[in-house]
Structure 1
Amino acid sequence: MSHIVIISGSPTPGSRLNGLIEFVEGKWNEKGIKISHIRVADLPAEALLHANFKDEQILAALALVESASGVVIASPVYKASFTGILKAFLDLLPQTGLKGKVTLPLFIGGTIAHLLSLDYALKPVLSVLGSRNILAGVFAIDQWVQRLENGGFELSDELAERLDRSADELAEEIEWLDLRAKESGVNS
């Protein structure tokens, strides 16, 4: 079964980033894809900062990444890059921790001026971690995601369309990877 892990680097529980995450998660739930979450801000801060590879929560989070076919890297953009807390977690992944996985970046920022943070801040890190199938990703600006009074989020039509395409692309890519892995297991 396909498995996607969503790594959220938002330090804020009510972040508009959650609107993007909830949208793609809904798409994958419709397809019956298993989804796991790593909310980096919920991991023990001391274990993150001291790279404590013996911490049970850190080990569980790393195991989720290892078991996934697809990995979503989600973060708000501050000062032209993803959050430091996300970087602290990515630093704990093994050198080839994303090898053979499809990765989808989802970023949100206050202005379109931070768009290139995907290419110049995140993609080099993902490449170093062994990811060779990095999808284009989606960058949104805050004003495209409205918080609703009853909770939840409303996305602009354009953003919803872009997320829809990216969610489908990730689902198709991991389906192809899973099929290929199954075929190679049968032929071995």
Structure 2
Amino acid sequence: MLSVAASPSATSRTGRLLRHLDGRLTGQGHRIIPLDVRTLPADVLLGADPRHPAIVRVAELFAQADGLVIGTPIYKAAYSGLLKCLLDLLPQYALAGKTVLPLATGGSTAHVLAIDYALRPVLSAMGAAHIVQGWFTLDRDLTVGDDGTLVVAPAAARAVEQVVDQFSATLHRTAPQRDAAPGSDAAHHRAVATTPVSVR
């Protein structure tokens, strides 16, 4: 599974929320590959070169993933420009056959429909097989402690955990039987989280 954080900020609450949820999904038996889009070379993203090795590698990660969590801050009622740059460089049907969970954060409930009206149509056009119920979390419900630990307000935590659990259940239902075979290499590796991907 690929967990894609699409904020340009190194201290993004969106990114922290995704990494927090990665732990929950790992505990449910999924192998998570975290991808922070901001670590990709800016000149490659802005230069729109789909043949650059960094983009080719990311396209491979998308192709190999059975599911994707895509998290973005909402700016001016739309997903981040960083995510737009990446999606534009991927193959037309990079999400074909994938199960996708869209997540967003923002400062106002005025942006709550951005997932359905801005992001979901793009994911659908890229061939996603299942786009499960997404979730929008208000910035004020995400605080960061002095030690860098993310704290999610209780009501927001329950809501986002519910959609993550539904996403996880959908993945388990659609996973090939061989992927879940007891003792198989796939079953062993799926339960191990990896370090974040930084492609240069």
Q: TM-score, with normalisation over the residues of structure 2?
A: 0.85
In the other structure, the counterpart of 2:50 is 53
* Alpha-carbon contact 1:20-1:163 (below 8 Å) kept: no
Q: CA, structure 1 residues 181+126, in 2 after alignment: closer, same or farther (shift >3 Å)? A: farther
Select the residue among 88, 94, 98 that pairs with 1:101: 98
AA aligned opposite 2:149: G
The amino acid across from 1:83 in the alignment is S
* 2:113 aligned partner: 116
Q: Deviations over 1:52-74 (max 9, x none)?
A: 12222211111111100111111
Which one of the candidate residues 159, 162, 173 is aligned to 2:170? 173
Q: CA deviation at 1:182?
A: 6.4
**What percent of counterpart residues are identical?**
34
- Which segments of 5 or more consecutive residues in structure 2 lack a partner in the other structure? 181-200
Where do 1:13-162 residues align within 5 Å? 13-162=10-159
The answer for the alignment partner of 1:8 in structure 2 is 5
Is contact 2:99-2:128 (8 Å) kept? Answer: yes
Gaps of 5+ in 1: 184-188
CA contact (8 A) 1:137 1:166 kept: yes
Amino acid aligned to 2:106: G
1:69-126 deviation digits (Å, cap 9, x = unpaired): 1111111011111111100101112111111111001100000110010011101100
Give, as a single letter, the amino acid of the residue that structure 1 aligns with 2:81.
Answer: G
Higher relative contact order (CA 8 A, sep 6+): 2
> Which residue matches 2:186?
none
> How far off its partner does 1:151 sit?
0.7
Residue identity in the other structure for 1:5: L
Q: Match for residue 198 of structure 2?
A: none
Q: CA deviation at 1:31?
A: 2.1
Task: Output the amino acid matched with 2:97.
Answer: G
Aligned-partner residue type, residue 150 of structure 1:
D
State how many pairs are aligned: 180
**RMSD between superposed Cα atoms in Å:** 1.6
Q: Cα deviation per residue 1:121-160 (whole Å; 9 max; x = unaligned)?
A: 1011001100131111110111000110111210011111
Distance apart, 1:48 and its partner CA: 1.2
* CA 182–147 in structure 1, closer or farther in 2 if over 3 Å, else same: closer
TM-score (ref. length: structure 1): 0.90
Which letter maps to 1:132? Answer: A
Question: Which consecutive aligned stretches of 4+ in structure 1 deviate over 4 angstroms post-superposition?
Answer: 180-183
